[in-house]
Structure 1
Amino acid sequence: MKQLIIILLFLLQGSWLFAQQEKSLVHKGNELYQQKKYTEAEANYRKSMEKRKNVEGDFNLGDALFKQKKFTEAGEQFNQLAGASSNKNIAAKAYHNLGNSLLENKKLEESIDAYKKSLINNPKDEETRYNLAYAQEKLKEQQKKDKDNKDKKKNDKNQDKKNQNKDDKNKDNKDQNKKDQDKKDQDKKDQDKKDQDKKDQKDGQQPQPNKLSKEDAERMLDALNNDEKQTQEKLKNKKLKGVKMHIEKDW
């Protein structure tokens, strides 16, 4: 029985020593925190938690991480603390700080949700209410900015499409104009050729053989045959008629 009492006293003494060490580390951490030595404060809070889990050490560790701008780690710490605490006041503060950590990380919707949970646990907290309104306003600004950027991209895309259509139309018009001009030039060449042919015919020049029609060739051949017959007929008549001779005076 005496041995059992000694063992219990030893265990109680050991537990008390651990508690004192844990409190000492938390206290030291708080002093360092007040001196803005947040890295050293974080180290003491972590050591105190190794001795024994405690709410003060958990909460202050999150604060120290936040002050070092380790917002993701701080958020994880506050989220774990808020979910595990049955004390509404502690949960409200943890959710409030979680909201701040998320807000710093530009996670606006998540921060709004955290602030709302904080107010559920403590509806009278005006600071949390203010932060909630601030985060909601920031979210509206972000959504408007996103919408404006989306509209601008859409307008730029439509403008690019219009410009492309305009370029295509100009190219088509240019191609068509070139075709029209080529046709006009060809028509002019053809007309000039016809005019030259008419002029040549008027001046008595015969068209080139490769340009004669079958009818024109036949008419020309008939004309040549008729001329030849007329010439032969004239020569024949001269032979028959004879040539008059000079008659000399008979003495």
Structure 2
Amino acid sequence: MRKHFIILVFLLQVTGVFAQKEKKYVHNGNKLYEQQKFAEAEAAYRKSVGQSKSSLEGNFNLGDALYKQKKFEPAVQKFTEIANASNDKTVKAKAYHNLGNSLLESKKLEESIAAYKKSLMNNPKDDQTRYNLAYAQEKLKQQQQNKDKNKDNKDKDKKDQDKKDQNKDQQDKDKKNQEKKDKDQKDQDKKDKQDQQKDQKPQPDQLSKEDAERMLEALNNEEKNTQDKLKNKKAKGVKGKIVKDW
């Protein structure tokens, strides 16, 4: 019996030592926090939690020190743990409030709004939380409006680009058609010219109109000369011997 009593006393003494160290680290952390030495404060609070993992003050202040250093992700994790572990509405309200702040700084607006709402469920009279909730909701509204505006602008830009592409396609098509027409016209003009030259050029063994007229005229002249010669010859014959018909 005495053995168990000694062990119990010993455990109580050890527990008291850990509690003293835990409070000492918290106290040192608070001093450093007030001096805005947040990294050193974080180290002190971690030592406090190392002595007592369930230390509410150590854990809560550690979350604050992380938040002040813009270490929002570990701060979110710490305040989430505190809110889930505690049954005290006051503690839960403060933990959710700080959780909302950490999420808000992380640009996670919808999650921050949910955290502020949980804080108000545990402490409906907290005006600061109510203000932060309204602020986060307004930021979310603006974000959504900007998204819609950007979407509208993108849709408009896409339509404008599609219209430009269609116009360009039509212009290219018109250009190709015009080039084809010009080529066809050029080919036709070339063919017409060749046909015209072919018609005008005398063919082998074929007299031109002028040559035929000249040859006809020459033949006529030759025939006329022949007839003239015959006439002359006949006239001379008449002057020959006359046979008298007695």
TM-score norm. by structure 2 comes to: 0.79
* Structure 1: gaps of 5 or more residues: 198-205, 212-216
Residue 201 of structure 2 is matched in structure 1 by 208
Gaps of 5+ in 2: 241-246
Match of 2:138 in 1: 137
Q: Deviations over 1:75-130 (max 9, x none)?
A: 11001111111111111111110110010011111111111111111111111111
Evaluate the alpha carbon distance shift between residue 62 and residue 188 of structure 1 in structure 2; reply closer, same or farther with a 3 A threshold. same
Please name the residue that 1:3 is paired with: 3
Q: Look up the equivalent residue of 2:58 and give its one-letter code.
A: G
Write the mapping of 1:32-111 to structure 2, written as runs, cut at 5 A: 32-52=32-52, 53-111=54-112
Matched with 1:112 is 113
Q: Distance in 2 between matches of 1:207 and 1:45?
A: 113
Aligned counterparts of 1:109 and 1:27: Cα–Cα separation in 2: 36
Task: Output the aligned Cα RMSD.
Answer: 3.6
Deviation larger for 90-99 or 180-189? 180-189
Greater mean deviation of Cα atoms: 184-193 or 161-170: 184-193
CA, structure 1 residues 175+3, in 2 after alignment: closer, same or farther (shift >3 Å)?
closer
Q: Which residue of 2 aligns with 1:18?
A: 18
C-alpha distance in 2, partners of 1:8/1:84? 28
| 1:209–1:92 distance in 2 versus 1, CA, 3 Å | same
Change (3 A) 1:29 1:188: same
| Residue in structure 1 matched with residue 162 of structure 2 by the alignment | 161
In structure 2, what residue type is equivalent to 1:119? L
- Count matched residues: 231
Q: TM-score, normalized by length of structure 1?
A: 0.77
Distance 1:2 1:102 in 2: 55
1:176 maps to 2:169: no
**In 2: Cα distance, 1:159 partner to 1:100 partner:** 42
Percent identity among equivalent residues? 50
> How far apart, in 1, do the equivalents of 2:59 and 2:190 lie?
99
Q: Secondary structure at the match of 2:125?
A: coil
Compute the displacement of 1:22 (Å). Answer: 1.0
State the AA in 2 paired with 1:22: E
| Structure 1 residue identity aligned to 2:162 | K
